[in-house]
Structure 1
């Protein structure tokens, strides 16, 4: 057994997977959960304060950051390393970090890219930001959960990445579901469509890197995939989807972003410039 004591607050699917991973590695683990019915099989504390007192590293995995604030409120966290793996906004993470520092603790925020079943395997990765001291002191222990990536001292940065990554994920999933609905409307099985779609999306990867460079530089003069060309393509696609009885609002929303840039006289510039329309709200 190692002497590094760990506390896990919250025994939902993620929290249970975290606690089990630490136990398998030989750490003494204390858990707390609002409902004691989920704690059998672990060394459980009756209160949050008791659980926190028993851990050198305190890992929080509850419903959201509001719940994390409520769980930790009034608890003595002096000298503790707090790692919050609860999802939320960058501002919420920074607020929790401020609270931790004001109460004598070091705070690290994490965004988990894994399903609970893959925690502790090579398929799991977690981005962290916040206290460099916590990262340096506990990175080997945190690596038990999955690949560790430290994004810097801004406690909100991991959540900032998370929101952007999940937005891209849900955009992809929404696009896939719409593609499957369109295919079905045309008598095509989703299983037959998927290999072709995946092949095309794989071929699209270099374009995303090019778009990223254009967005970061603010220069969109390349224009190989111009706004005007895509405006026309989106109009045709929207008509086709409506004709098949499977419209998708996201396509119209994207076209509205493109339309704004074309109205501004940017039609010959790169499609990536549509990102500037988001900034206008």
Structure 2
């Protein structure tokens, strides 16, 4: 078994602190730096080395992991260490957009650094657990060179050469989570509009229902991919008239419960538009196309 490689972590908010902790737990000599004092105290007590500057932190390890507020902060804080980055690898796990990732790769490689962008699919308390995974994109050889170290943070998942794809998937996954929670709170608002409604009791029904329905997603995904590849007929389809009738009922019940109904208002309008265009079936490919600004 190889000796754990040295790593530097820059940015010690809740997530950065969790990343550094995971690396220490995995036996990696870990250097840390944070722009505000005190956030590294617990890590230093556990064996981390406190760097006096960003440059000192970068020079301490062949691999630097940054996790900061946004990409502007990354550039601002890392610029003083520009010379130190040459010949080293920078892994940016800051949340941002695909275009920001591509711009940052150009900046980093212009300094002579190897660059990977990533997205952490975990909350701080689940970093390095079996539930955690981290997305990476960029040059595959950079990922391969440090994969063993990156596995300490969560299952390391390489997505491809386009450095923006990790950010794209990260934000797409977060959007699903965000909409799930929005749907949860919407449904709880409806259920608790009844005098005997209980959020706890309702959620005991909601979780197994959503878990069951989530198992349909791979079949929808297969239909979307088949449609993109060859225009094949979807395996899963439902009558648009049936979907519209149910959506109208959800709209009415939402309004009657005194809950905001704008989502269902938009859904009804979209379904009515599709029927007016002569469509008869509700499918995964149609649902995806309807969401695109340019449906081509």
Same fold (TM over 0.5): yes
Shift of 1:216: 2.4
Shift of 1:199: 2.5
Match of 1:18 in 2: 19
Match of 2:182 in 1: 174
- Using the TM superposition, name which of 164-173 and 45-54 deviates more: 45-54
Deviations 1:134-179 (A, max 9, x none): 2111111111111111111111111111111111111111111111
- Aligned mates of 1:56, 1:183 — CA distance in 2: 54
- Aligned mates of 2:289, 2:174 — CA distance in 1: 20
Aligned residues of 1:226 and 1:271 also touching (Cα < 8 A): no
Deviations 1:9-41 (A, max 9, x none): 101111111112222333222111111222222
Alignment of 1:215 with 2:224, yes or no, is yes
Shift of 1:267: 2.9
- Aligned mates of 2:234, 2:172 — CA distance in 1: 25
Aligned residues of 1:257 and 1:274 also touching (Cα < 8 A): no
- Using the TM superposition, name which of 20-29 and 78-87 deviates more: 20-29
Aligned residues of 1:238 and 1:247 also touching (Cα < 8 A): no
Shift of 1:272: 4.7
- Using the TM superposition, name which of 170-179 and 219-228 deviates more: 219-228
- Aligned mates of 1:121, 1:165 — CA distance in 2: 18
Structure 1 spans left out of the alignment, 5+ residues: none
Shift of 1:223: 6.4
Within 5 Å, give how 1:1-281 maps onto structure 2.
Answer: 2=3, 4-40=5-41, 41=44, 42-74=48-80, 75-76=82-83, 77-186=85-194, 187-218=196-227, 219=231, 224-270=237-283, 272-280=285-293
Give secondary structure in 2 for the equivalent of 1:23.
Answer: helix
- Aligned mates of 1:257, 1:264 — CA distance in 2: 11
Aligned residues of 1:258 and 1:271 also touching (Cα < 8 A): no
Pairwise CA RMSD: 2.1
Structure 2 spans left out of the alignment, 5+ residues: none
- Aligned mates of 1:196, 1:231 — CA distance in 2: 24
Shift of 1:273: 0.9
Give secondary structure in 1 for the equivalent of 2:136.
Answer: strand
CA change 1:19–1:270 in 2 (3 A) is closer
- Using the TM superposition, name which of 230-239 and 220-229 deviates more: 220-229
Give secondary structure in 1 for the equivalent of 2:9.
Answer: strand
- Give aligned pairs, total: 281
